[in-house]
Amino acid sequence: MKIKVAFLCLLFTVVNSFAQKDTLQLGDRYAEDQLYISISYSQLNEQPSLISKSNFSYALSAGFLKDIILNKQGSVSFAAGVGFGYDYFNHKLKVDEVNTSTTFSSDNTINNNIFKTYNLEFPLEFRWRTSNAKKYNFWRVYTGVKFIYNLQNTFSYTDANQQNFKYKNLNAYNNLQYGLTFSAGYDEFNVHLFYGLSPIFKDATINTEAINTKILKFGLIYYLL
């Protein structure tokens, strides 16, 4: 029942946005409230020296942004939003946890070394665009910061003896992260970049070397009015 109510509220918001847009006249004050969907190629950045670059990894996210215009033309604004994100990393760092104690190591014999997360996202953006109240196709440049709260993280791998290991919600995982965002393009489809500023682990080391691994994503983002 709650899911149905949330879906109906979301549908009402989209329909209402289109209805309001159709009544605007050139020069009217307006806002670009938007749903967004993004797909990105991901990498774990600033890995320890013993760990090689990750294999193919990706991220998906979707959410809603509320536009707060800063000038009459609507070409400059601030936006705040909330969304949901999923990350899938095929990485090289071996992660184990015993009695809430997490250890990190390098092991080239393991397979299917996967790291998955489900997150709440809170983007904040400063926006510039060439739109007006009646112009729906326009150039845009959006920059900002995104805060990420982790709902669930899972680390799993298969060792040389084909034994499967899986650890959920590691104590060492940094549940609150943040990074810089940049989006630019024309019309609905735009290039998108997320540059993580906070490490994904808390006070983690491998052979006395600090693990300052951060997340880097680049891909496409689609904005729906």
pLDDT digits (tens, 9 = 90+) for 29-43: 556 778 999 999 999
**Cα angle vertex 161, ends 105, 200, to 5°?**
30
For residues 93 and 97, what is the distance between their CA atoms, to the nearest angstrom? 13
78 pLDDT higher than 60: yes
DSSP strand pairing (76-90 vs 58-69): antiparallel
Rounded to two decimals, the pTM is: 0.82
14 pLDDT higher than 50: no
User: For the chain, which domains are there?
Assistant: 2-224 (2.40.160.20)
16 pLDDT higher than 60: no
Mean pLDDT value across residues 191-202: 96
Lowest mean pLDDT among 37-51, 60-74, 87-101, 132-146: 132-146
Read off the pLDDT of residues 159-180 as tens digits, 9 standing for 90 and up: 888 889 999 999 999 999 999 9
Phi first, then psi: what are they for 17, rounded to 5°? -65, -45
Mean pLDDT value across residues 78-90: 95
Q: pLDDT-derived band of residue 81, with 50, 70 and 90 as boundaries?
A: very high
Q: pLDDT-derived band of residue 20, with 50, 70 and 90 as boundaries?
A: very low
Among 170, 126, 167, smallest CA distance to 150 is for 170
For residues 196 and 45, what is the distance between their CA atoms, to the nearest angstrom? 8
Q: Residues with Cβ < 8 Å from 1, sequence gap 6 or more?
A: none
How many angstroms separate the Cα of 168 from the Cα of each of 5, 59, 161?
A: 31, 19, 22
Lowest mean pLDDT among 27-31, 47-51, 82-86, 153-157: 27-31
